[in-house]
Structure 1
Amino acid sequence: MKRLAPIAALLVLLATSGADAHQGELRFMFQFPAGLEPTLDGELDDWAFVPEVYYNRAENMFNQFGAPLDLSDFNSFQIWGYSLATNKVYFAFWVSDDAIHNTEKWSTTTDWDHTGGQFRSFGDESDEFQERWTGAQAQRYDIYAPTFASGGFYTKQYGQAWAGEEPFVMWGGKYTKGEVGNFEPAEMQGEVSITPFDDIHPDGPDASTEHQFAVNQIVGLEANWGDKDPDPGNYDDAYWSLFGGIGASSQADQFGDFLTAPLEPGLPTAVETSTWGQVKASFAAE
């Protein structure tokens, strides 16, 4: 019997499992073989062997303001991956924008154990409640890199600030065209690693619960890019999102679903003694 490709096999599994869905269609998180995780230097050649099914492209994103997509105004792709060896999630992106400035960013929200519910903006709750539970059981990470926000930070985790800093969030990125802050066309790319948590405690990592990845998990995610061409202070041009869930900034039920894929066939399982250059060259030669 012909062996099913990993993604096809997962679709069969989901059809019979009754897994709960959130917003939109299921997407897939690439599994990096041990030793082949990205180096976070801002060069996306570490991702060159990732199949197209894992690419999340602008033409499949949703504008929450309803304007039609114009790829000359905004274009992008994202890839989400994970590693069982490092227990980290990896996020690569490329963005082309006709008017880039330093308030545009990826606003990413995560719910690794897929429990849903409210995780920010608790209204009239006490200060103690807000401190403990904002960004605890689901998270919002703002990834400004490499645009360098005027506030001086490159990532921010709303609620539990330490979880948005090294070594829990790390990145590499660069401009490949243009520069920040001049409202002219530019292109940028970057790669990010995030340590996943099911519960982030204000007292730090020892008081928190790290999520443990496994194959065939469903995790909750959303990623948005505010394309604020006319006014850097307002989302009055477009707000592009992977799934289009309204209120995903504070409600994890509005996220979409990613499934952690098994290893793709034909990939190496370890770097062994090869240098990165040798590994990359071997893929280029095939």
Structure 2
Amino acid sequence: MHKILGCAAFLLLTLSLTQLRAQSTQEPEKDKRSFKIFQFPADKIPRIDGNTDDWAMVPDSFAVGIDQLRDDNKHFLKADPKNLDVKVKVGWVKGENRLYFLYEAYDNYWDFSLPDLHNDIFEVVVDADRSGGTFIDELHPNKDMEKWEAYFSFHGVHAQNYHIFTPAVGKDWALVWGSQPWIKKLPYANAAYNYHFKPGESGKLILEFFITPFDYAGTEGPVRAVQSNLYENKIIGMSWAVLDYDDVNDKSKQGFWNLSHQHKMYGNADYMLPFKLMPLDERYRKSIAADWSFKVVDMNRRVVAFIDESEGKVNSWHWDFGDGTSSAEQYPYHQYKNAGKYVVILDIEGSAGKSRRSKVWDVAVK
């Protein structure tokens, strides 16, 4: 009996050790949080002027506060709003490939007197097509690649990292960590500040900016660049961190407040978090409005696909293709017999009324 009990105990101990070893080799638990990006109406695009007026329409449910961040330096167990308090809202506009940011921060000690990288920083990383993987030279998967070749061909190319100085005094508003500084300039980015404090003082800072995410951004400039395509309900990868230098001589007071909770999110897009590009809020939608686009499917055969993009609840569609033919389908294909430039008209009807959208000579076939 004792031998049986001894064998059972040994077996249990072996199983327990096996489980512990398995747990120790497992990947960190996946972060299941997700966030929202507010869609601004096309007639209410935020002005980059350092004021918050344009953002009053954005509900607080879109705000990401410091309670969502943790200090990767492990100097602070939890955030103290008397020391540092931040709130971030992100927006977008349908038809643009831009991300708009409102960064509001209170700090009890603002550090921005030096001309180098030592500066309070808002670090934003974005991987808009969620291609994932590493994107800085030191993390290049091919360890045989020479350092500078990795830097110029890889660093910041498929995902981008912006070190934004808060505030920037006597220096550019941001360091783009990579070999493509052109992406921080107009028309791809812009920034404005609003604050009333000096280095070493406390106070509130408002930073307003936009950036353009890229699926490909090379050192050669915009000639070969590919902007990330932004559209409703798309999920992009993004994260940010706040680097807080409260005392240059005391590292225990320096915080690295990370939204991702994975420290190397700054160079590995796998550690970014999902952000959803939200549809337009009901408050700003038209009850009914006709709209459409088209794509020439086969120019040789003059075949065109028409895409309904109307707003509101639509019960019926009537397409006039401009050549004497029509269709009642929502998404018709049409083959033109003759080359020409056509006036195409879409009429829609629903419970809210009727609407028309014509486009003059947009549709042309040869």
Does TM, scored on the shorter chain, surpass 0.5? yes
Q: Looking at secondary structure, tell me which structure has more strand per residue.
A: 2
Q: Which residue in the other structure is 1:50 paired with?
A: 58
Residues 64, 246 of structure 1: 8 Å contact kept: yes
Residues 23, 245 of structure 1: 8 Å contact kept: no
Q: Which residue in the other structure is 1:219 paired with?
A: 236
Deviations 1:206-258 (A, max 9, x none): 20111110111111111111111122795852111222221011111111111
Q: Which residue in the other structure is 1:142 paired with?
A: 163
Taking a change above 3 Å as real, the CA distance of residues 238 and 84 of structure 1, as seen in their structure-2 partners, is same
Deviations 1:12-36 (A, max 9, x none): xxxxxxxxx9645000011111121
Taking a change above 3 Å as real, the CA distance of residues 234 and 255 of structure 1, as seen in their structure-2 partners, is farther
Taking a change above 3 Å as real, the CA distance of residues 129 and 237 of structure 1, as seen in their structure-2 partners, is closer
Taking a change above 3 Å as real, the CA distance of residues 137 and 232 of structure 1, as seen in their structure-2 partners, is farther
TM-score norm. by structure 2 comes to 0.63
Deviations 1:157-212 (A, max 9, x none): 1111111222211011110x422x2x121211011111121110111112011111
Letter in structure 2 aligned against 1:136: V
Letter in structure 2 aligned against 1:81: G
Q: Which residue in the other structure is 2:37 paired with?
A: 29
**For 1:221 and 1:232, how far apart are their aligned partners in 2?**
32
**For 2:40 and 2:30, how far apart are their aligned partners in 1?**
25
Counterpart mapping for 1:256-267 below 5 A: 256-267=273-284
Q: Which residue in the other structure is 1:168 paired with?
A: 188
Residues 22, 254 of structure 1: 8 Å contact kept: no
**For 1:24 and 1:91, how far apart are their aligned partners in 2?**
23
Q: Which residue in the other structure is 1:191 paired with?
A: 208
Q: Could you list the runs of 5+ residues in structure 1 that have no partner in the other structure?
A: 1-20, 270-286
Following TM superposition, by how much is the alpha carbon of 1:264 offset from its aligned partner in structure 2, in angstroms? Answer: 1.0
Secondary structure (helix, strand or coil) at the match of 1:219 reads strand
Letter in structure 2 aligned against 1:163: I
Q: Which residue in the other structure is 2:271 paired with?
A: 254
Taking a change above 3 Å as real, the CA distance of residues 253 and 139 of structure 1, as seen in their structure-2 partners, is same
Deviations 1:116-140 (A, max 9, x none): 1000033652223320111000110
Question: Which of 226, 229, 245 is equivalent to 2:262?
Answer: 245
Counterpart mapping for 1:63-82 below 5 A: 63-66=71-74, 67=76, 68-82=78-92
Letter in structure 2 aligned against 1:99: Y
**For 1:255 and 1:267, how far apart are their aligned partners in 2?**
30
Letter in structure 1 aligned against 2:254: D
Taking a change above 3 Å as real, the CA distance of residues 87 and 117 of structure 1, as seen in their structure-2 partners, is same
Question: Which of 114, 119, 134 is equivalent to 2:130?
Answer: 114
Taking a change above 3 Å as real, the CA distance of residues 171 and 233 of structure 1, as seen in their structure-2 partners, is farther
Residues 32, 82 of structure 1: 8 Å contact kept: yes
**For 1:206 and 1:32, how far apart are their aligned partners in 2?**
29
Residues 24, 243 of structure 1: 8 Å contact kept: no
**For 2:53 and 2:95, how far apart are their aligned partners in 1?**
20
Taking a change above 3 Å as real, the CA distance of residues 63 and 260 of structure 1, as seen in their structure-2 partners, is same
Secondary structure (helix, strand or coil) at the match of 2:233 reads coil
Letter in structure 2 aligned against 1:121: D
Deviations 1:59-98 (A, max 9, x none): 2222213312111000110001111132211011101000
Question: Which of 90, 105, 108 is equivalent to 2:121?
Answer: 105
**For 1:98 and 1:75, how far apart are their aligned partners in 2?**
9
How many pairs align? 244
Letter in structure 2 aligned against 1:105: I
Secondary structure (helix, strand or coil) at the match of 1:25 reads coil
TM-score norm. by structure 1 comes to 0.80
Which structure has the larger Rg? 2
**For 1:71 and 1:156, how far apart are their aligned partners in 2?**
27
Letter in structure 2 aligned against 1:267: Y
Letter in structure 2 aligned against 1:110: V
Taking a change above 3 Å as real, the CA distance of residues 187 and 224 of structure 1, as seen in their structure-2 partners, is same
RMSD of aligned residue pairs (Cα, Å): 2.1
Which is bigger in relative contact order (C-alpha 8 A, separation at least 6)?
Answer: 1
**What is the identity percentage for the equivalent residue pairs of Structure 1 and Structure 2?**
23
